[in-house]
């Protein structure tokens, strides 16, 4: 069952969302959902409980999309969904393990059944494993590639039937500037693969009216990037990336959200197969 949170005040929208929560039958839903609600686009954001996922969701929600925060930590995703305010569109929390085909299929089936459509997939879920090639663990390599690379493939594969029916849609894969610069081999190899997957999706899904692009951040200060670092190394990292940028600043989660929202908007209808570096110019810097 979908875990739904909304700040809508319109009675019709409240009725619509009540149906998601199991308070109405499917027949009652079909009788009362307005055309506007049916035509509102639907986005799934994986890694939806994290800082980047939430920032992306805010940008999409601001633009009027229903947003599903999909994450392994369903409780955390539900807590973040409950924080959304100011729009009629719904924000939902759903559990998913993007590394598992059955979990991905179940997510897409639940969302598709509730809304009748899926328009946007933002593949943001990721794991980070640091280490040099000489001492990396094979299990870490396999896990990172299951989540960071196979996960986006599984998500897109599962949503293709909706795009085929709708003849429209958008994919945004969250890559990284390190696909250019190099870095920890486990993470870099997976993110370089994401760029390749994005370009393949652009050519394959284009005839369906689907665009596929990647957003490549640099370092963004979040719990994800701080994990495993003490205060001193964290401050050194902040200083390093600030100095690396021609703009003299560090990318923030909202910067990533705005880029994703642009790429799935009508303004970007002619853009596909691209990698948009959102990293304050640090894609120009060496490792």
Catalytic residue list = 187
Nearest to 150 by CA among 49, 46, 271, 225: 46
What the block records as the tokens of 104 is 């991905």
Q: How far is CA 62 from CA 33, 55, 87, 171, 235, in A?
A: 21, 11, 7, 18, 33
Pairing relation of β-strands 3-5 and 91-95? antiparallel
What values do phi and psi take at 33, rounded to 5?
Answer: -70, 135
What the block records as the tokens of 227 is 């994990």
Pairing relation of β-strands 210-217 and 275-278? parallel
Whole-angstrom distance, CA of residue 70 vs CA of residue 232? 33
DSSP state of 279: S
């Amino acid at each position: 069952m979908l875990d739904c949170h909304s700040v809508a005040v319109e009675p019709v929208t409240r009725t619509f969302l009540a149906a998601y929560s199991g308070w109405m039958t499917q027949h009652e839903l079909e009788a009362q959902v307005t055309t506007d609600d049916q035509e509102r686009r639907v986005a799934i954001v994986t890694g939806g409980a994290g800082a980047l996922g939430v920032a992306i969701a805010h940008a999409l929600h601001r633009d009027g999309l229903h947003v599903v925060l999909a994450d392994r930590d369903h409780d955390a995703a539900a807590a973040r969904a409950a924080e959304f305010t100011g729009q009629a569109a719904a924000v939902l929390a759903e559990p998913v393990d993007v590394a598992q085909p059955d979990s991905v299929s179940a997510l897409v089936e639940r969302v598709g059944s509730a809304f009748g459509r899926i328009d946007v997939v933002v593949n943001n879920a990721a794991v980070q494993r640091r280490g040099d090639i000489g001492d990396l663990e094979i299990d870490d390599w396999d896990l990172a590639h299951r989540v960071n690379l196979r996960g986006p493939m599984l998500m897109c594969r599962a949503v293709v039937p909706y795009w085929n029916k709708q003849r429209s849609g958008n994919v945004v894969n969250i890559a990284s500037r390190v696909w250019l610069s190099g870095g920890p081999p486990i993470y870099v190899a997976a993110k370089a693969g994401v760029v390749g997957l994005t370009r393949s999706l652009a050519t394959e899904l284009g005839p369906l009216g689907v665009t596929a692009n990647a957003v490549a951040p640099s370092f963004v200060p979040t719990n994800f990037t701080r994990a495993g670092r003490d205060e001193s190394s964290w401050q050194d990292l902040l200083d390093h990336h600030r100095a690396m940028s021609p703009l003299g600043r560090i990318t923030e989660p909202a910067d990533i959200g705005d880029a994703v929202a642009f790429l799935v908007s009508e303004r970007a209808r002619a853009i596909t197969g691209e990698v948009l570096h959102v990293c304050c110019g640090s894609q120009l810097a060496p490792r």
